[in-house]
Structure 1
Amino acid sequence: MWPQAPIMSYDEADWASGICDCWHNTKQCCCLFWCCPCFACNTSKQFGQCLCLPLLDVFGCFRPITMSMRTSARHRYGIKGSLCRDCLCSTLCPSCVWGQISTEMKSRRIPTVLSDIIQR
C-alpha cells in the first residue's frame, strides 16, 4: 500500500487560533510552559515529521525548524500569511507557534500522512 499524498487546502483561510491563544486550553498551555521541547516533538510527530526535529532549534535564537513547521502547516491548510510573519512569530514566541500548530491540526481533524516512508 502506497502512502497518501498530503491533504492540502487551497482556500485562503485564517488560523483557527491566534498566536497567543494557547492559554484557552489549560492542559496545552501548561505543557507548553513547563516542557515546550516535549510538546514540540510530539506535535512534529503528529504532523508527520521526525520526532526529534524540533530539538535542532535549541542551538540559537533563530528557530528554523519552528518557522518551517509553521510555514508547512500554513501551506498545508491554506492559511493566509507570509514567510516574514512565520519567521517573526517563531523567533519571538516559539512556544506559541507550537501551540498554534497543534490547535490547527486538532481543529482541522485532517489525518496526518507520513510522506517520507514508502511501504512496499
Structure 2
Amino acid sequence: MENKPLVDWDSGLMDCFEEPSTCCYGFWCGPCLACTVSGRFGENTFLPLFDFCGVTTFCGIPMCVPPAGLSMRAAMRNRYGIKGSLCKDIVAACCCGWCSWCQMHRELKHRKKTPTVINVQNQTIFATQPAPMMMMMPPAVMNQQGVVTISH
C-alpha cells in the first residue's frame, strides 16, 4: 500500500461564507444537511438523527460527544487522507457541530467535482510514408461515439 501525503480540508471549519448555500442549508435545516452529508458519503441517510434525538445539550453545546457527527468526520478524514486527529474531531463535533457538518458538506461537493472529458471525433490522418512501427500495428477503427477498436 502506498503512503500518500495527508492533505488539508478543502475549506476551513469556519469558512461558511466560502459557500453561502451550504451555510444557509445548515442554518435553516441542520438535520437535513447532516442527513444529506451522511447519504452522499455512503452511510445511512438517517444516521445523524440519532445525534439530534439522543444528545442532551446545555446552551447549545452537547453534554456528550455526538457519535454520528464524530464518526462521519473521522471516516471522511480517513477515506480522503485529510490531516487531523480524533481529538480535533471530538472538539469540532462537540463545540462546532453545525460548522463541522457544513465543512463535510463542502468537502463532499469538492470531491464530487467531475473532470472535464474531451471526446475526440472521427479524424483521418494522412502520411506520405508510414512509420515502420505503424505498419506493424493492427488497423484501428473509431466509431461515432469516439471509441477506438483494434481489429486483428
Match of 2:73 among 70, 73, 76: 70
Moved more, 54-63 or 74-83: 54-63
% same residue: 43
Q: How many residues align?
A: 103
- Is 1:52 the counterpart of 2:55 in the alignment? no
Greater C-alpha Rg: 2
Match of 2:83 among 80, 83, 100: 80
Over aligned residue pairs, what C-alpha RMSD do you find? 1.7
Query: In 2, distance between residues paired with 1:110 and 1:50?
Result: 22
Q: Give yes or no for contact 1:19–1:97 (8 Å, CA) kept in 2.
A: yes
Query: In 2, distance between residues paired with 1:110 and 1:64?
Result: 28
1:1-59 Cα shifts (integer Å, max 9, x gaps): xxxxxxxx843111000001122211111110111000100111000000110001022
Query: In 1, distance between residues paired with 2:16 and 2:4?
Result: 25
- Structure number with higher strand proportion: 2
Q: Which runs of 5+ in 1 are unaligned?
A: 1-8, 112-120
1:41-92 Cα shifts (integer Å, max 9, x gaps): 0111000000110001022122111011000000000011100000000000
- Structure number with higher helix proportion: 1
Q: Quick one: higher RCO (CA 8 Å, sep 6+), 1 or 2? A: 1
Aligned to 1:107: 110
Shift of 1:108: 1.9
Per the alignment, in what secondary structure is the counterpart of residue 8 of structure 2? coil
Per the alignment, in what secondary structure is the counterpart of residue 98 of structure 2? helix
Per the alignment, in what secondary structure is the counterpart of residue 53 of structure 1? coil
Q: Which runs of 5+ in 2 are unaligned?
A: 56-61, 115-152
Moved more, 44-53 or 16-25: 16-25
Residue type at the aligned position of 1:77: Y
Query: In 2, distance between residues paired with 1:79 and 1:18?
Result: 12
